[in-house]
Amino acid sequence: MSSNSVHLLSFITLILIMVTNAYGVVDEYVRDDFPADFVFGAGTSAYQYEGAVLEDGRTYSIWDTLAHYSGNNIYNGANGDVACDGYHKYKEDIELMVDTGLEALRFSVSWSRLIPNGRGPVNLKGLQYYNDFIDILISHGIQPHITLHHSDLPQILEDEYGGWLSRKSVKDFVAYADVCFREFGDRVLHWTTFNEANVFALGGYDLGVLPPGRCSYPFGYINCTNGGDSTSEPYIVGHHLLLAHASTVRLYRKKYKATQHGFIGINIFAYWYNLDSNTIEDEKAAERAHDFYEGWFLNPLVYGDYPEIMKKNAGSRIPNFTKQESERIKGSFDFVGVNHYDTISIKNNPSSFEMETRDMYADMAATLIVNGTDMFPTQSEITPLGLQKLLNYLKEKYGNPPIYIHENGQGQPRNGTLIDTPRVEYLHAYIGAVLDAIRNGSNTMGYFTWSFLDLFEMLSGYKTSYGLYYVDLDDKELTRYPKLSAHWYASFLKGKNMSGIFENVNSQETLSSSY
Ligand code: IFM
């Protein structure tokens, strides 16, 4: 190498050290460094936010049932009966969204509020709630991004035919989606069929920790007294979700796309994996885990069938697609929604093949090591390079699909502090990672932090929280207070230069401290 090249290389290295931070991602950026049509927002979901579970005609969903199930050791007796009382407080919350400078809100529709019998008549009060919600968002220039199913199938359909275990769910879901497109599609351009389709099937039917809480010994994380078969049900449910998704997209494209001009996709959860040891075995285990988590849904959507390794390891427990189904599923998305929180370690686990029966994790033959041993840690570590690598991986493996980061944020114990410094550090680092990924060619089109305010949490009830706004549960008004992270995000969205973590974050500025 000539001495000129050596100098050039040292110069480039110096620049890189100056602009990246300790996490290895860009440190200094402004909102306008992102593409003009890139969108920044925050998220909620119906059961976690709305409360009012039996008000104005709403009926129970499978999430209500799990939260009220006495054998449930996940929520410590808590439930979403009131949650953030968003059904009554949404107008004030939208004011806070405006204060924060949100460009978009990701939220879900409660199927059992809109169509209390699961199919058939529309509940006019429910319809009015969502219409009003959407209208107010739009009047403030906040884009509504709607998820149709966030773990909350109407309980009545679970009781009638076993919910997602039955193929009948496909038809009912498509009919429900049809109502949503018809009623809201004149104002809503972004639709997601399922939140975390992969985790819904795994958590709800293998581990039992998510609605409807089904599992079978020895696989569940709860006592599997609700019924279930962890060896086959996750695969059956995943299959029905894919069929329902594809039929819904088909309906949207045939009946609504030409007049409404919207976009429709599905959402999946994804980790990034660090190898436990630098061996070819662990490298292959990581590849299998990607196939079992993301590939389970993305392979059919992009290539028309499940990953080969899933078909091989699950054998007859994973259903087949007919030729027509495969053709219908392939290409049935305008974007992929990705929820990413953590990088975890992964280790090859061949011994799982010796088990008499196998669940999906055993089929994966990999051990996932989350924060040491805790499967559900209360606080994510800050590993933004994982997100950058994940976006790059999805770009390479699935033909660079348009991606929305639908969820990213840091869970923390819900202890009432408004100075959530680690969350600010987390957001600063992960948004930097998204910018780096875009500069490397990823087709990422938006970023939503989870969550806009502290919600009823999926794996902990009210023990952990992800919100930019604290919700005081001891106050019957459920007053909201901005955390430092709300000030940080607002500063960023209002165009301030985010170099370093705390510069330009003025916690005294205009954000309302409470209603
Ligand atoms: O609260 C959940 C959300 O409902 C789905 N994704 C993960 C979040 C944090 O656990």
Question: What sign does the dihedral 374-378-383-384 (CA atoms) show?
Answer: positive
Is the distance from the beta carbon of residue 90 to the nearest atom of ligand 1 less than 6 Å? no
Q: Choose among 318, 272, 274, 273: nearest CA to 297.
A: 318
pLDDT of residue 452: 98
Is the distance from the beta carbon of residue 457 to the nearest atom of ligand 1 less than 6 Å? yes
Domain map (residue ranges) of the chain: 3-271+384-511
- Nearest protein CA to atom 8 of ligand 1, as residue: 458
Is the distance from the beta carbon of residue 459 to the nearest atom of ligand 1 less than 6 Å? yes
Residue 126's contacts (CB-CB under 8 Å, 6 or more residues apart) are 56, 57, 58, 110, 113, 114, 115, 116
Residue from 267, 375, 451 to probe ligand 1 pocket by mutation (most atoms less than 8 Å from CB):
451
Could you tell me which residues are beta bridge partners of residue 265?
Answer: 192, 335
Q: How many angstroms is it from 312 CA to the middle of ligand 1? A: 31
In our burial notation (b when 16+ CB lie closer than 10 A, e otherwise), range 250-276 reads ebbeeebbeebebbbbbbbbbbbbbbb
Euclidean distance between CA atoms 360 and 362, whole angstroms: 5
Q: How many angstroms is it from 121 CA to the middle of ligand 1? A: 30
> Listing from the earlier edge strand, what are the strands of the sheet with 366-369?
272-275, 343-348, 366-369
Cα–Cα distances (Å) from 160 to 119, 234, 485, in that order, read 12, 19, 44
Q: How many angstroms is it from 150 CA to the middle of ligand 1? A: 9
Is the distance from the beta carbon of residue 380 to the nearest atom of ligand 1 less than 6 Å? no
- Nearest protein CA to atom 2 of ligand 1, as residue: 458
Question: What number does CATH give the domain 3-271+384-511?
Answer: 3.20.20.80
In our burial notation (b when 16+ CB lie closer than 10 A, e otherwise), range 450-487 reads bbbbbbbbbbbbbbbbbbbbbbebeeeebbbbbbbbbb
Q: Count other C-beta atoms under 10 Å from residue 124's C-beta.
A: 11
Q: How many angstroms is it from 13 CA to the middle of ligand 1? A: 38
Question: What DSSP character marks residue 447?
Answer: E
For strand 444-450 and strand 366-369, is the pairing parallel, antiparallel, or unpaired? unpaired
Residue 5's contacts (CB-CB under 8 Å, 6 or more residues apart) are none
Tokens of 363: 């089929």
Q: Choose among 468, 369, 478: nearest CA to 423.
A: 468
- DSSP H or E stretch at residue 143: strand 143-149
- Nearest protein CA to atom 10 of ligand 1, as residue: 458
For strand 464-465 and strand 412-413, is the pairing parallel, antiparallel, or unpaired? antiparallel
The atom number, within ligand 1, closest to the CA of 459 reads: 10
Cα–Cα distances (Å) from 203 to 74, 235, 380, 399, in that order, read 12, 12, 19, 28
Print pLDDT tens along the chain (515 aa): 455 554 554 555 445 444 678 888 988 999 999 999 999 999 999 999 999 999 999 999 999 999 998 777 788 889 999 999 999 999 999 999 999 999 999 999 999 999 999 999 999 999 999 999 999 999 999 999 999 999 999 999 999 999 999 999 999 999 999 999 999 999 999 999 999 999 999 999 999 999 999 999 999 988 898 999 999 999 999 999 999 999 999 999 999 999 999 999 999 999 999 999 999 999 999 999 999 999 999 999 999 999 999 999 999 999 999 999 999 999 999 999 999 999 999 999 999 999 989 999 999 999 998 765 455 566 778 999 999 999 999 999 999 999 999 999 999 998 878 999 999 999 999 999 999 999 999 999 999 999 999 999 999 999 999 999 999 999 999 999 999 999 999 999 999 887 755 555 655 444 654 43
Is the distance from the beta carbon of residue 229 to the nearest atom of ligand 1 less than 6 Å? no
- Prediction pTM value: 0.94
Is the distance from the beta carbon of residue 152 to the nearest atom of ligand 1 less than 6 Å? no
pLDDT of residue 380: 77
pLDDT of residue 139: 98
Euclidean distance between CA atoms 354 and 130, whole angstroms: 51
Cα–Cα distances (Å) from 194 to 41, 242, 289, in that order, read 19, 9, 21
Residues 199, 269: contact at Cβ < 8 Å? Answer: yes
3-state secondary structure of 71: coil
Is the distance from the beta carbon of residue 230 to the nearest atom of ligand 1 less than 6 Å? no
Residue from 47, 84, 196, 406 to probe ligand 1 pocket by mutation (most atoms less than 8 Å from CB):
196
Question: What DSSP character marks residue 26?
Answer: B
Is the distance from the beta carbon of residue 196 to the nearest atom of ligand 1 less than 6 Å? yes
Query: Catalytic residue numbers?
Result: 196, 407
Q: How many angstroms is it from 195 CA to the middle of ligand 1? A: 9
Is the distance from the beta carbon of residue 45 to the nearest atom of ligand 1 less than 6 Å? yes
487 phi and psi, to 5 degrees?
-65, -40
Q: How many angstroms is it from 341 CA to the middle of ligand 1? A: 10
**Peptide bond connecting 316 to the previous residue in cis, omega within 30 degrees of 0:** no
